[in-house]
């Protein structure tokens, strides 16, 4: 959009030479943005060899679910080790380096490591030099099908001066002139852009059909094979697998996700502010924050760089990324706290200068600190308002938690009706002081889809029961734990301890404080032996290079605190380890509440402090050893968008069997039992043995691994990792993971769990408590006429140009709605065991989606909002009928975008 606005240009070729492995999600997104071609480089060297052997380095990338060839995009894969000049003219770096004329004296680049250096081209040597270079071109061309050859000429940090560009141009032009003036050489060489290359290639492919016998191709470009799948895990040589970066700097991988979900929520609120604007003179507030929203988008986008979210940047760059994200998070939270006032009708002012009446419940003191819960003071005779925003497209029933300074509180809903609640002590990672002295209050909240709901925390409200204190059981060999008031405490008896809700019972070993098994109330029993272990390794930010097996670190006799209440049961374990400062403590929670999806999951929270010299060259994992016969086959997600089948192979080392896990990994047995782990942030996962799933939590490495960073990774931060674990059994027959190469899909319940984890409720508390006798009533804000179907997700609802909102012509719609239809496995419970009432087989009508907002205009568009030709984007024909009837049917897996014009009903 920026390019189009600024110079009137819309790109159609993607160039991405430096990500460490590639996901087909990128191919899908680019295709639906109107891109035609992709160029990629970093894929496994053995795979390059295999593709080159069959002349398949240029291919059509097709999505695994796509039977109709609607997702096809043409891809050029570079053939050699690197994208620099020694590795791009042909197969011999020592020869190619001689044609990097910026390495002659006078520039700051190093000389050629092969000791044959470039020399200026003149009339005397041009013939010999041209034939030498042409020989490399000829050899390279044998790896591809066509007579059109791409030879990139550049590297990182090149062309910093006109002189450098000039020396390359001058020397190459002489070589090209020689080649072009000698017809006997059968070659023509010239400078060109990437677009020139793809255009020339396609013109040739139109004239000559390069298809091989029995090859499945594509109508997109004839003469090339179509391939599906992804390119993880990358290795550039020997056994150097780049699976370390899946976990490097995990603290910032988590912040990335928090900024993403906060931006998603903020854009939604801003769209509602603009949409309802005619009724509540409010344009100044969203317009005043427009530039901060744009900055937040850019800071989030910047961190998606292949040295940003990957954790492979230098320390001072990490600081810059972190500071940018932190600033944007704070800006967005201030905007949200003001926006909810307007949408609840509490603020009539025209300006955004007034301070907000609400604070976000979580505060971060600095860019690399964990967020801390603001404690509600709850003094006698006062009441404090709490506003919850639900960014999801379905209404939400969920047990929520706030921290209070005093335990004697009562929860009231927006009608001042009593709500059942429980209070339990707040815990911390400190073996000498496990209880902080503050308290956590839990209650079941109900929040409308994309809406707001208010609750009140009162102290001294007559006629309501106070929050029920949890019953505590304590065990410790480290030091005595004092029972905090006002709780009943008892000592743990026996070797095992259990917590249960109406669906499942969890069993833990007391000595190590680790989960042992899960018994479902329908009779299923699953061994889930939890283990926390360390690898010793010598990798770096990019590479995982383990030495031997991971060694368990929990010793017998740490602290154990079991809290049991009506809404939440928890086992908190501070394990005894060989170190004075143990690197990890963890909580396991299950919830009650009725009609919540939380009842079906197990919440694991790991508090990780991999700090200090004791943990140099150590990598921390959690491993779940289950009795699922998965045959070492498991599934991980790609970009939170699709699943990929993974198989563990003995012939490649452990590090090559590790895969990225942005948000989900699961194993499935032959009986249909499925063990899923949903993650709140990106990490790496493996299944080393049958029934095992291990996930790496953090890594601390002293040395550089020679891939360009020039330092180790020892700037670890204290962090919390949260998993939602789901154990499901199917209700009808399934495909066999062993024989079926296709990826399996998550169940509908699994999708719901993932959505709740990745789009949590946003909680705001009033800055000032009120007197309990002054009852203010704020109704809910509920913008949808009905919740959307359970498998339809709003990827974004936003005003893409908030700063230009007023100046835009009425003919051009100012709002954007992006919808994604999730693909789910129907052999598991169709209702997602929840309030799921509908799925998106029926059309959704955009025209009457919002209460109080008329949709005047709805036009389908590309994902980058720049193309209106749906056929060119690969969509099937039905998408075009929206503008007349507003009816939308989206096939599973598709993402579709609509430009809307909204007007508030007067």
**3-class DSSP state of 257:** helix
Annotation marks residue 18 as catalytic: yes
Is residue 279's pLDDT more than 60? no
pLDDT digits (tens, 9 = 90+) for 490-512: 999 999 999 999 999 999 999 99
User: For residue 492, with 0-12 CB atoms within 10 Å meaning exposed, 13-18 middle and 19 or more buried, which class applies?
Assistant: middle
On average, the pLDDT of the chain sits at: 95
Is residue 350's pLDDT more than 60? no
Question: For residue 105, what pLDDT band results from cuts at 50, 70 and 90?
Answer: confident
Enumerate residues 6+ apart whose C-beta is below 8 A from 893: 63, 65, 642, 821, 822, 823
Tell me, rounded to whole angstroms, the distance of Cα 669 from its chain centroid: 27
DSSP E strand stretches across 692-787:
692-700, 719-728, 762-766, 770-771
Among the CATH numbers 3.40.50.2300, 1.20.120.430, 2.60.40.1180, 3.40.630.30, which is that of 375-469+761-780? 2.60.40.1180
Give the per-residue pLDDT at 880: 54
Is residue 885's pLDDT more than 60? yes
The first and second tokens of residue 892, run together, are 């599973």
Domain 788-905 in this protein, CATH class: mainly beta
Give the per-residue pLDDT at 352: 60
Question: For residue 806, what pLDDT band results from cuts at 50, 70 and 90?
Answer: confident
The first and second tokens of residue 25, run together, are 């999600």
Q: What is the DSSP string of 856-896?
A: EEEEEE-TTS----TTTTT--GGGGGHHHH-EE---TT-EE
Give the per-residue pLDDT at 281: 62
CA distance 268 to 448: 14
CA distance 237 to 235: 6
Q: Please give the DSSP secondary-structure letter assigned to residue 380.
A: T
For residue 248, what are the CA distances in angstroms to 149, 243, 311, 550?
37, 9, 5, 18
Q: Residue 96 belongs to what H/E stretch?
A: helix 93-96
Q: Please give the DSSP secondary-structure letter assigned to residue 232.
A: -
Is residue 814's pLDDT more than 60? yes
pLDDT digits (tens, 9 = 90+) for 440-461: 999 999 999 999 999 999 999 9
Give the per-residue pLDDT at 595: 86
Is residue 587's pLDDT more than 60? yes
Which whole number is the average pLDDT over 77-84?
Answer: 98
Kindly list the domain boundaries of the chain, sorted by start residue.
1-231, 240-355, 375-469+761-780, 470-758, 788-905
Adjacent-strand bridge partners of 584: 608
Tell me, rounded to whole angstroms, the distance of Cα 318 from its chain centroid: 18
Give the per-residue pLDDT at 815: 96
Q: What angle, 0 to 180 degrees and rounded to 10, lies between the N-to-C axes of helices 315-343 and 250-275?
A: 30
Neighbours of 282 (CB within 10 A): 23
Percentage, residues of the chain above pLDDT 70:
98
The first and second tokens of residue 585, run together, are 């403590």
Weakest-pLDDT range from 75-89, 672-686, 826-840: 826-840
Q: Which residue has the higher pLDDT, 285 or 239?
A: 239
For residues 5, 8, 13, 19, the Cα torsion angle rounded to the nearest 10 degrees is: -30
CA distance 843 to 839: 10
Q: Please give the radius of gyration of the chain, using alpha carbons only, rounded to the nearest integer.
A: 30
**The domain 470-758: what is its CATH number?**
2.70.98.30
Give the per-residue pLDDT at 108: 85
Tell me, rounded to whole angstroms, the distance of Cα 547 from its chain centroid: 29
CA distance 650 to 687: 12
pLDDT digits (tens, 9 = 90+) for 141-157: 999 999 999 999 999 99
Give the per-residue pLDDT at 283: 83
Among 325, 340, 347, CA closest to 263: 325
pLDDT digits (tens, 9 = 90+) for 198-246: 999 999 999 999 999 999 999 989 999 999 999 999 999 999 999 999 9
Give the per-residue pLDDT at 240: 98
pLDDT digits (tens, 9 = 90+) for 550-576: 999 999 999 999 999 999 999 999 999
pLDDT digits (tens, 9 = 90+) for 606-638: 999 999 999 999 999 999 999 999 999 999 999
CA distance 230 to 238: 20
CA distance 392 to 4: 32
Q: Which of 5, 18, 163, 617 is catalytic?
A: 18
Is residue 158's pLDDT more than 70? yes
| Domain 240-355 identical in fold to domain 788-905 | no
Adjacent-strand bridge partners of 873: none
CA distance 667 to 652: 20
Which whole number is the average pLDDT over 510-530?
Answer: 95
User: For residue 825, with 0-12 CB atoms within 10 Å meaning exposed, 13-18 middle and 19 or more buried, which class applies?
Assistant: buried
Q: 240-355 belongs to which homologous superfamily?
A: Glycoside hydrolase family 38, central domain (1.20.1270.50)
pLDDT digits (tens, 9 = 90+) for 595-611: 899 999 999 999 999 99
Is residue 736's pLDDT more than 90? no
Percentage, residues of the chain above pLDDT 90:
88
pLDDT digits (tens, 9 = 90+) for 302-318: 999 999 999 999 999 99
Q: Please give the DSSP secondary-structure letter assigned to residue 412.
A: E
CA distance 679 to 661: 8
Question: For residue 349, what pLDDT band results from cuts at 50, 70 and 90?
Answer: low
Give the per-residue pLDDT at 732: 84
Contact 45, 70 (CB under 8 A): no
Give the per-residue pLDDT at 592: 95
Is residue 830's pLDDT more than 80? no
Domain 1-231 in this protein, CATH class: alpha beta
Contact 229, 644 (CB under 8 A): yes
Question: For residue 164, what pLDDT band results from cuts at 50, 70 and 90?
Answer: very high
Which whole number is the average pLDDT over 75-94?
Answer: 98
């Amino acid at each position: 959009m920026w390019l189009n606005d600024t110079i009137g240009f819309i790109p159609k070729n993607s160039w991405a030479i430096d990500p460490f492995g590639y996901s087909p999600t990128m191919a899908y997104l680019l295709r639906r943005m109107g891109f035609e071609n992709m160029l990629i480089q970093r894929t496994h060297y053995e795979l390059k060899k295999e593709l080159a052997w069959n002349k398949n380095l240029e291919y059509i990338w097709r999505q695994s679910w796509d039977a109709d060839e609607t997702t096809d995009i043409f891809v050029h894969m570079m053939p050699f080790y690197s994208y620099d000049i020694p590795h791009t003219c042909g197969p011999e770096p020592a020869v190619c380096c001689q044609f990097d004329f910026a390495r002659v004296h006078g520039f700051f680049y190093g000389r050629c490591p092969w000791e044959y250096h470039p020399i200026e081209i003149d009339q005397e040597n041009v013939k010999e030099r041209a034939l030498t270079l042409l020989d490399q071109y000829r050899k390279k061309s044998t790896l591809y099908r066509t007579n059109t050859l791409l030879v990139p000429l550049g590297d990182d940090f090149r062309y910093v001066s006109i002189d450098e560009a000039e020396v390359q141009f001058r020397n190459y032009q002489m070589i090209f002139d020689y080649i072009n003036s000698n017809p006997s050489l059968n070659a023509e060489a010239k400078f060109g852009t990437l677009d020139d290359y793809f255009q020339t290639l396609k013109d040739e492919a139109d004239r000559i059909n390069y298809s091989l016998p029995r090859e499945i191709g594509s109508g997109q470009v004839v003469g090339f094979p179509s391939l599906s799948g992804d390119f993880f895990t990358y290795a550039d040589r020997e056994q150097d697998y780049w699976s370390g970066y899946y976990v490097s700097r995990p603290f910032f991988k988590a912040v990335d996700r928090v900024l993403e979900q906060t931006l998603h929520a903020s854009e939604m609120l801003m769209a509602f502010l603009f949409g309802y604007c005619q009724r509540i003179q409010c344009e100044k507030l969203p317009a005043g924050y427009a530039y901060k929203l744009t900055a937040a988008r850019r800071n989030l986008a910047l961190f998606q760089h292949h040295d940003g979210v990957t954790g492979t940047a230098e320390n001072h760059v990490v600081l810059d990324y972190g500071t940018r994200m932190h600033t944007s998070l704070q800006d967005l939270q201030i905007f949200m706290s003001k926006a909810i006032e307007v949408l609840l009708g509490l603020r009539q002012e025209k300006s955004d200068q007034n301070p907000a009446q609400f604070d976000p419940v979580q505060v971060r003191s600095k860019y690399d600190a964990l967020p801390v819960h603001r404690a509600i003071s709850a003094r006698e005779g006062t009441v404090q308002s709490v506003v919850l925003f639900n960014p999801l497209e379905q209404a939400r029933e969920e047990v929520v938690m706030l921290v209070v300074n005093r335990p004697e509180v009562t929860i009231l809903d927006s009608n001042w009706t009593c709500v059942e609640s429980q209070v339990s002590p707040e815990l911390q990672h400190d073996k000498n002081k496990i209880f902080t002295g503050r308290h956590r209050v839990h209650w079941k909240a109900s929040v409308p889809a994309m809406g707001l709901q208010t609750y009140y925390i009162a102290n001294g409200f007559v006629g309501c029961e106070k929050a029920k204190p949890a019953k505590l059981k304590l065990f410790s060999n480290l030091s005595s734990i004092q029972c905090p008031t006002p709780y009943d405490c008892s000592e743990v008896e026996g070797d095992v301890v259990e917590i249960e809700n109406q669906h499942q019972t969890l069993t833990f070993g007391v000595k190590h404080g680790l989960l042992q098994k899960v018994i479902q109330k329908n009779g299923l029993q699953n061994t889930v032996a939890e283990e926390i272990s360390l690898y010793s390794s010598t990798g770096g930010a990019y590479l995982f290079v383990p030495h031997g097996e991971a060694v368990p670190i929990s010793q017998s006799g740490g602290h154990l605190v079991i809290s049991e209440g009506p809404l939440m049961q928890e086992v908190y374990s501070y394990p005894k380890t060989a170190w004075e400062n143990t690197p990890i403590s963890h909580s396991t929670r299950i919830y009650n509440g009725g009609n919540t999806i939380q009842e079906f999951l197990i919440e694991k929270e790991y508090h990780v402090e991999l700090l200090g010299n004791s943990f140099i060259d150590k990598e921390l994992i959690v491993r779940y050893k289950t009795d699922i016969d998965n045959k070492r086959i498991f599934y991980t997600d790609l970009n939170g968008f699709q699943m990929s089948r993974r198989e563990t192979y003995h012939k490649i080392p452990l590090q090559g069997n590790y895969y990225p896990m942005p948000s989900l990994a699961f194993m499935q047995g032959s009986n249909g039992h499925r063990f899923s782990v949903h993650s709140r942030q990106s990490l790496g996962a493996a299944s080393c043995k049958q029934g095992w799933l291990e996930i790496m939590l953090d890594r601390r490495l002293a040395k550089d691994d020679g891939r360009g960073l020039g330092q180790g990774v020892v700037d670890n931060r204290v962090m919390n990792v949260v998993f939602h674990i789901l154990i499901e059994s199917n209700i009808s027959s399934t495909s066999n993971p062993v024989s079926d190469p296709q990826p399996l899909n998550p169940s509908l319940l699994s999708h719901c769990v993932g959505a709740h984890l990745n789009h949590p409720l946003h909680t705001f508390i009033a800055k000032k408590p009120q007197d309990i006798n002054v009852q203010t009533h704020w109704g809910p804000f509920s913008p949808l006429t009905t919740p959307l179907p359970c498998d339809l997700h709003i990827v974004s609802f936003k005003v893409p140009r908030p700063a230009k909102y007023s100046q835009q012509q009425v003919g051009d719609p100012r709002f954007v709605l992006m919808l994604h239809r999730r693909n789910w496995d129907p052999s598991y419970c169709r209702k997602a065991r929840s309030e799921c009432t509908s799925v998106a087989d029926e059309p959704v009508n955009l025209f009457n989606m919002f209460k109080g907002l008329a949709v005047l205009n709805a036009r389908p568009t590309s994902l980058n909002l720049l193309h209106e030709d749906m056929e060119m984007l690969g969509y099937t024909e039905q998408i075009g009928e929206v503008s007349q009837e507003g009816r939308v049917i989206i096939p599973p897996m598709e993402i579709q975008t609509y430009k809307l014009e909204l007007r508030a009903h007067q």
